[in-house]
Structure 1
Amino acid sequence: MKKIMKSAIVATTVLAVHGAVMASVVISGTRVVFPSNEKEVTIRLSNEGQQPGLVQVWLDEGDVQAAPEQIKVPFVLTPPMFRIEPGKGQTIRMLYNQSPLPQDRESVYWLNMLEVPPKPEDGDANYIQMAFRTRIKVFFRPKALNLQEKVQEAAGQLKWSLARTADGKSYALEVSNPTPYHVSFMHLGVDAPNGKNAVNEDGGMVEPGKSASFALQGGESLPAGPVKVKYTWLNDYGAGVEGEAQAVK
């Protein structure tokens, strides 16, 4: 178990030359929403490959380097480690231990899944064994905030501004989030009046009551006048939703 945990922390590749190995175990969904009035939620995993996989799951608070055995979160995952046969699935239960969490805003955690494929059966001493790690967000949502109409409105309440980056060479979009929800973006950018656009294809997230900055590629110079922000945010089902707003300069 310790060896697997260590592999997760450093995304270990055990060297060799037997050919590429691809991850086969997948999580159903790209995010988890945990309503505070629920005792537990379930997460479905499936093995879409042709070989069995050994899987370990754990939660963290955002530090990708944190060792699983040292992390303290208000949830329990069961089972924490298991084997999935090819073509089969596994249901994970996430249980809330009732530790106090903010009730005026969402809290975010990260679900980690580490898959270690089996060794090849051909007896070749030289092979590649890779530990594939997947991380998705887990949003703990207070009962009073678990209203879809409010969730859907959050992105439209964001406040946008355009400012020079610290080096003064380009622009960045700065967004302020006055809502109690996390808003995640697939990508975002600006349409300038002269048709010169600048984009950020990396995306990211802005937390409740906080601000975030997104550097723009192609935004070295933007003309005076109004600038329209175009963005794609992710809903509870992981689907992209288009949005527009005006940026303050």
Structure 2
Amino acid sequence: MTSKMRHAIAALALFAGMFSGAGQASVVIGGTRVVYPAQDKEVTIKLTNEGAKPAIVQVWLDDGDEKSTPDTAKVPFTVSPPIFRMDPDKGQSVRVMYTQEALAKDKETLFWVNVLEVPPKAAASASGDSNMLQFAFRTRIKMFFRPQGLAGNVTDAPDKLTWKLKPAADGKGMAVEVSNPTPYHVNFTRVAVQSGDKEVASADGGMVAPGSSTDFAMSALSAKPAHAKVAFSIITDYGAVTPMTALLNP
């Protein structure tokens, strides 16, 4: 891989952010998230090219800046190989290695894995027109760096969450606030308020970080319903979705 090609691919990364997770991408990541135990020397991410054509792939990590590129992202990890060709129906294992810079030891730290796929140049059409627009596709998934010996257990973290209904900050209806006293990130596919046979759900899923709170808008609610509870679904380390319920605090 030449230096010129490296810079050309890196320059596409910012543009490709507009197509993050696009359905047309052929290169698929084997999993929806990565957990990096701090005591491990490395973790492996498996990729597969499910398309009919080869692709050039670039992989890098960032600390939450969706506009980052391999040249601007500053993270304590190295990736090997960072750039490679993937033929159709072939797989590639990518190693992520922690370079030992200081990170929090009492809670998880969130990073993002970026996979940029650059398809081959389109062939000229029958009329000889080769001015066809080519898209690069970027997929981002979360990577949780997990220190050894954290308090509690990641599987118990959802049960430790506390929930309350409050007026929304923008004045439009109510919001459910979830607070996370644990050292683990908790990810949601949905959050809803249930009262009897009625339910009002937030438009989006989301996440609550360790020691933090997150609000989920419930604009259709103007007050707390009688006998209300919160129903939510969490995503486990393995990408499974688990439905749960909890009481809403006064």
* Structure-1-length-normalised TM-score: 0.90
The AA in structure 1 aligned to 2:237 is: D
1:2 CA drift (Å): 2.5
Residue 12 of structure 1: CA displacement? 7.0
2:161–2:178 contact (8 Å) kept in structure 1 = yes
Supply the distance in 2 between the matched residues of 1:167 and 1:44 (Cα, whole angstroms).
42
Residue 176 (structure 1) aligns with: 179
Whether contact under 8 Å (1:192, 1:222) holds in the other structure is no
Q: Is the 8 A contact 2:234 2:241 kept in 1?
A: yes
Match of residue 215 from structure 2: 213
The alpha carbon displacement at 1:145 in A equals 3.1
Deviation sequence 1:103-137 (CA, Å, 0-9, x none): 11111100000101112234442423111110000
Report Cα offsets for 1:75-128 as digits up to 9, x if no partner.
100111111000101110001111121111111100000101112234442423
Trace 1:1-249 onto structure 2 (pairs within 5 A).
1-11=6-16, 22-123=24-125, 124-145=129-150, 150-193=153-196, 195-223=197-225, 225-249=226-250
Question: Does the 8 Å contact 2:151/2:183 carry over to 1?
Answer: no
Q: CA deviation at 1:218?
A: 2.9
Equivalent residue, structure 2, for 1:16: none
Whole-angstrom distance in 1 between the partners of 2:194 and 2:17: 42
Q: 1:12–1:130: 8 Å Cα contact kept in structure 2? A: no
Change (3 A) 1:113 1:246: same
**Which secondary structure does the structure 1 equivalent of 2:10 belong to?**
helix
Corresponding residue SS for 1:145: coil
How many residues align structurally? Answer: 239
* Aligned counterparts of 1:157 and 1:12: Cα–Cα separation in 2: 35
Structure 2 counterpart SS, 1:43? strand
Amino acid in structure 2 at the alignment position of 1:244: T
Checking the alignment, whether the CA contact within 8 Å between 2:17 and 2:138 is kept in structure 1 is: no
| Deviation, structure 1 residue 226 | 3.2
Q: Distance in 2 between matches of 1:143 and 1:76?
A: 20
Give the Å deviation of 1:180: 0.4
